[in-house]
Amino acid sequence: MNMLARNTARKGTHYTLFESGALKDWINNSVDIPGLGKVPGKLFLKDAMGLTSTEISINAMPPGQGMPFHHTHRQNEEIYIFIHGQGQVQVDGEMFDVREGSVVKIAPKGERVWRNNGSEMLVYIVMQMREGSLQQWGTGDADVPQKPVVWPA
Amino acid sequence: MNMLARNTARKGTHYTLFESGALKDWINNSVDIPGLGKVPGKLFLKDAMGLTSTEISINAMPPGQGMPFHHTHRQNEEIYIFIHGQGQVQVDGEMFDVREGSVVKIAPKGERVWRNNGSEMLVYIVMQMREGSLQQWGTGDADVPQKPVVWPA
């Protein structure tokens, strides 16, 4: 049973847990963006979770809808992970299809716009991180404490 | 129709598109990790996509399985986004449940381990980015080129 109210965070010393709800309910989120007003189907996680390395949004876009303007970034690389539905993306006027499992990296200067041209909700995650900021990764950034893994029965 | 072979990348001037395949097929991926050997159900995207700000893995873990060891990080904040199934996470020995829509941030020093204690595949995305690296975000990092959005009919 979910002990957390939706869209609330639980914090420990080294972690934050945020329950964004089932993917089918992401359309009920909304954010207020200065100059744009209320944007339905979008929720930013950085402030809610205290993220220091990325801004993440979780997104649901209904069939027939699309971004009404292009945008670029100044510092940040963006990554889009599509997890349901079908859509199209344009970067610098070049168009390609996206679907469940499509992952798109866009460099800061890429002029980007996207739409849902399918018949189901387009569900996707967008992340922005400072381009070139990663210095080490994977096992090269990891340590393994020598303690047993214990789970309750 | 998908014009791309699975797990291949298409590159433009400012973008890379990677088709990771349907979520139900992520279990067929695997990676070789030094000291661990072949890890099924995991695929790293950084090298395949030329990411410069994050290492991302896409993951599928079958019921009854779990990470066999704890790990920590040196520089990187980690974020786990669970998109299907049910599992449990421990950070510093504190346990909590996760499910579709659970997002977990773990600071570098958090000792973490997780398992699939549900009856379906646990499907999730893991990202690591350098802690404190984000300097600006959202509309504060964005520009809007004044050009019309045009889609083919």
The model's pLDDT over B113-134, given as tens digits with 9 standing for 90+, comes to 999 999 999 999 999 999 999 9
What is the C-alpha to C-alpha distance for residues A49 and B58, in angstroms, rounded to an integer? 21
Tell me if B141 and A128 make a contact (CB, 8 A cut-off): yes
Tell me if A130 and B134 make a contact (CB, 8 A cut-off): yes
| Interface residue A153 vs chain B (CB under 8 A) | no
Number of domains in chain B: 1
| Interface residue B128 vs chain A (CB under 8 A) | yes
Instruction: Report if residue A24 sits inside a domain.
Output: yes
- Chain A partners of B103 at a C-beta cutoff of 8 Å? 17-20, 45, 49, 56, 58
Beta bridge partners of A79: A105, A127
Mean pLDDT of chain A: 93
Instruction: Report if residue B142 sits inside a domain.
Output: no
pLDDT of residue A1: 32
CA distance B141 to chain A (A): 5
Q: What is the mean pLDDT of each run of 10 residues along chain B (153 residues)?
A: 56 96 96 87 96 98 96 98 98 97 98 98 98 95 96 89
Q: What is the mean pLDDT of residues A65-86?
A: 97
Beta bridge partners of B97: B88
Tell me if B104 and A73 make a contact (CB, 8 A cut-off): no
Instruction: Report if residue A98 sits inside a domain.
Output: yes
pLDDT of residue A78: 98
Q: What is the mean pLDDT of residues A99-119?
A: 98
Q: In what order do the strands lie in the sheet with B94-99?
A: B94-99, B86-91, B112-116
List the CATH number of the domain containing B42. Answer: 2.60.120.10
pLDDT of residue A140: 92
Model pLDDT for residues A16-74, shown as the tens digit of each residue: 999 999 999 999 999 998 877 899 999 999 999 999 999 999 999 999 999 999 999 99
Tell me if A83 and B109 make a contact (CB, 8 A cut-off): no
Instruction: Report if residue B15 sits inside a domain.
Output: no
Interface list for B 4-43 with A (CB within 8 A): 10, 12-23, 25-26, 33-35
Instruction: Report if residue B27 sits inside a domain.
Output: yes
Tell me if B115 and A20 make a contact (CB, 8 A cut-off): no
What is the C-alpha to C-alpha distance for residues A116 and A118, in angstroms, rounded to an integer? 6
The interface pTM score, or ipTM, of the predicted complex is 0.94
pLDDT of residue A4: 44
Instruction: Report if residue A138 sits inside a domain.
Output: no
Instruction: Report if residue B38 sits inside a domain.
Output: yes
- Chain A partners of B104 at a C-beta cutoff of 8 Å? 15-18
Q: Is B140 helix (H, G, I), strand (E, B) or coil?
A: helix
**B76, A143 in Cβ contact below 8 A?**
no
pTM here?
0.95
DSSP B14: S
Q: Where are the alpha helices (DSSP H) in B20-136?
A: 46-49
Domain of residue B82, residue span: 23-125
**What percent of chain A clears pLDDT 70, i.e. is strictly above it?**
95
pLDDT of residue A9: 85
Instruction: Report if residue B144 sits inside a domain.
Output: no
Interface list for A 32-91 with B (CB within 8 A): 33-35, 44-46, 49-56, 58, 66-77, 79, 81, 83, 88-91
